[in-house]
Amino acid sequence: MRCLEKETEESVEFFTNNLKQRKFDGSVQLVLNTVQLLRRIISQTKWTNARELMDIIRQEGKILMETAPSETVVGNMTRRILKIIRDEYGSTKKGKQDEADVQESLQKILLAEGGELDYAKIVPNLKSDIMDSIAELITEIETSEVDIAAQASEHIHSNETIMTIGHSKTVEAFLKNAAKSNYHLIVAECAPFYHGRKMAASLAECGIQVTLIADSSIFAMMAQVNKVIIGTHSVMANGGLKGVCGTYTMALAAKHYSVPLIVCAPMFKLCPQFVCSIDQDGFNQFASPVQVISSSEGQLISSAEIFNPVYDYVPPELVTLFISNSGGHAPSYIYRLLSEFYHPDVDL
């Protein structure tokens, strides 16, 4: 049973409609809108303790996640908000301490009280503390692209040849920030959507030497490449990637030639879920087959099934380094990041 105010419920419906129609321009806009919606739910819904609030967030989070199962960042932000509620409840209950001691104090509380806090108790100033933490989260999201781009000079050097695929706003900012380094960029066009053409045109305007290639030329060109730098839709719990279709081909070619594969991904893309099968529901999504084969050829393929997947799965052993807004991380370190950003009870 939903317990939202009419105005808040209308906001949820407006968000879900936009989500269904894919009106959000990029993952940053989607994440910001998700967090702002959850913040509105927290501020406008009646609740008396942390347990009631977490039940409301779980309920609304499930609705949002079921609307677009392939958009993992929606579930990520719901879990981040739940972690904030738990942390602020534990901090307020224990009393304000130095920021450096908060994590340690929370662990002591959990151990002392049998592994779980009593979230049903009423705590003063809980709402204001939660809202402050959510404001910090929004600031982190808004500055994540800038923080990642600032690390470009550490990874891109003069006279190097870099390869990327498709179009990622994070990777675009990263490469533009290193434009002063006289490097050569090879961009795979990422058929059938051809997002790579947009990326190549944007970077060429900054004076970067850009070469646009077909996806079929990735393996042939990889022998000349020093580094592969790509973006991703999601980072899975094992360090694997959910990237645009063609990413797996590029990762295999990089592995064959021992070329480092660097992934630019802000922390809100870190997903506490594993991929048991690349065919599981919610992992992939399929676009119209018209982009693969035109309707004029329909008579030749009247009995054929045509799939146009949007995403590839890249296993963690093909990834060399993750660059996030908190620094560089090896795929083997993902488990530690998960414990920092999500509560062990991550199921909604």
Q: What pTM was estimated for this model as a whole? A: 0.87
Q: Do residues 83 and 188 share a domain? A: no
Residues spanned by the domain of 78: 6-147
347 found inside a domain: no
Amino acid identity at 283: F
Same domain, 162 and 143: no
Same domain for 216 and 171, yes or no, is: yes
DSSP single-letter state for residue 279: T
Condensed to tens digits (0 to 9), the pLDDT of residues 142-158 reads: 999 999 999 999 999 99
| Cα–Cα distance list, 95 to 90, 105, 200, 300 (Å) | 8, 10, 53, 72
| CA–CA distance, 153 with 112 (Å, rounded to integer) | 46
Q: What's the rounded mean pLDDT across residues 68-86?
A: 93
pLDDT tens string 255-302: 999 999 999 999 999 999 887 665 555 677 787 777 677 666 556 566
How many other β-carbons are positioned within 10 Å of the β-carbon of residue 268? 27
pLDDT digits (tens, 9 = 90+) for 201-230: 999 999 999 999 999 999 999 999 999 999
Query: Same domain, yes or no, for 331 and 190?
Result: yes
